[in-house]
Amino acid sequence: MLGLAGWFLFTCLAAISGAVTAKTAAAFYAQLEKPRWAPPA
């Protein structure tokens, strides 16, 4: 049972980390310098 709780906690932390990262991804990608041949956003 302890192992199951550990995996559950690990999964929740991974999900929270992904959500926080995805929240700031738009600003990060907007700062990237795109090549001239890149399609419009």
What does the domain layout of the chain look like in residue ranges? 1-41
The number of angstroms, rounded, from the C-alpha of 6 to the middle of its chain's C-alpha atoms is 22
To which H or E segment does residue 12 belong?
helix 2-31
**CB contact burial 5-33 (16+ within 10 A = b; e otherwise):** eeeeeeeeeeeeeeeeeeeeeeeeeeeee
Mean pLDDT of 8-32: 93
Please state the pTM of the whole predicted model: 0.59
User: In the predicted model, is pLDDT for residue 27 greater than 70?
Assistant: yes
What pLDDT was estimated at residue 9? 97
Q: Rounded to whole angstroms, how far apart are CA atoms 33 and 37?
A: 12
Mean pLDDT of 9-26: 94
